[in-house]
């Protein structure tokens, strides 16, 4: 597992985004996809995303509130999500359909839940909204906090996906 180890503290619209808030989402993504979809996601180097463009063909977005607030987005290439959902359902899918859309929402919810549990073990109380799924070329992900987010790129054999996190500890 690749952890973000360098010091990272970003000021985003009056909020601070700390590396301690990002690593639980990275770990949760790897764990959920290994256990639920039987894939081995390879993580790339995280970077700052400065626009609202989604990095995939379908995205799940979930709002987070409590001691930390913000949002999590997962954005998958079509080939990647079709493989993941095919593995989860035990059947061969050929494209983005309603089953895939439902699965993206559930995957987003599961990853959020695992990450929130880790953050709660570190003393943060966080609740999540109901995930929203957006599909189509050139769609956008607008985070609750606005401004830049952290992108954690992943890859499976069939294609790329990203974790897009914008999470802060409230106004400073």
Q: In terms of Cα–Cα distance, which of 2, 30, 26 is closest to 156?
A: 30
Residue 3, pLDDT > 90, answer no
What is the torsional sign of CA 8, 47, 69, 124? negative
Q: What is the pLDDT of residue 110?
A: 98
Find the mean pLDDT for residues 7-36: 73
Q: What is the pLDDT of residue 17?
A: 57
Task: Kindly report the length of the chain.
Answer: 172
Q: Where are the domains of the chain?
A: 15-166
Q: What angle do CA 74, 76, 78 make, to 5 degrees?
A: 155
Q: What is the pLDDT of residue 23?
A: 87
CA distances from 17 to 58, 144, 160 (A): 25, 13, 25
Query: Encoding tokens for residue 134?
Result: 């957006």
Residue 6, pLDDT > 50, answer no
- Give per-residue pLDDT as tens, 107-165: 999 999 999 999 999 999 999 999 999 999 888 888 777 767 888 999 999 999 999 99
What is the rounded distance in angstroms from the CA atom of residue 71 to the CA atom of residue 51? 15
Residue 2, pLDDT > 70, answer no
Helix H or strand E segment including 33: helix 19-37
Burial class (CB in 10 A: 0-12, 13-18, 19+), 158: middle
Find the mean pLDDT for residues 9-21: 53
Q: Between residues 103 and 22, which one has the greater pLDDT?
A: 103
For 27, phi then psi, to 5°, come to -65, -45
CA distances from 170 to 48, 118, 141, 145, 166 (A): 19, 19, 20, 9, 12
Give, as one character, the DSSP assignment of residue 5.
-
Find the mean pLDDT for residues 44-57: 86
CATH number of 15-166: 3.40.1550.10
Q: Which residue has the tokens 């997962």?
A: 74
- Give per-residue pLDDT as tens, 64-108: 999 988 899 999 999 999 999 999 999 999 999 999 999 999 999
Q: Between residues 168 and 75, which one has the greater pLDDT?
A: 75
Q: Model pTM?
A: 0.87
């Amino acid at each position: 597992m690749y952890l973000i180890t360098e010091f990272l503290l970003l000021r985003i619209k009056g909020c601070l985004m700390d590396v301690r808030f990002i690593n639980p989402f990275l770990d949760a993504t790897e764990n959920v996809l290994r256990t639920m979809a039987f894939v081995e996601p390879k993580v790339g180097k995280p970077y700052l995303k400065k626009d609202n463009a989604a990095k995939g063909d379908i995205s799940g977005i979930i709002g987070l509130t409590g001691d930390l607030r913000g949002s999590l987005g997962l954005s998958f290439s079509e080939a990647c999500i079709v493989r993941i959902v095919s593995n989860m359902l035990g059947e061969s899918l050929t494209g983005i359909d309603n089953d895939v859309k439902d699965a993206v929402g559930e995957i987003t919810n599961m990853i959020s839940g695992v990450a929130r549990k880790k953050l709660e073990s570190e003393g943060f109380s966080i609740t999540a909204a109901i995930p929203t799924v957006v599909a189509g070329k050139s769609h956008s992900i607008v985070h609750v906090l606005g401004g830049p987010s952290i992108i954690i790129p992943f890859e499976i054999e069939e294609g790329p996906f990203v974790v897009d996190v914008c999470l802060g500890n409230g106004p400073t």
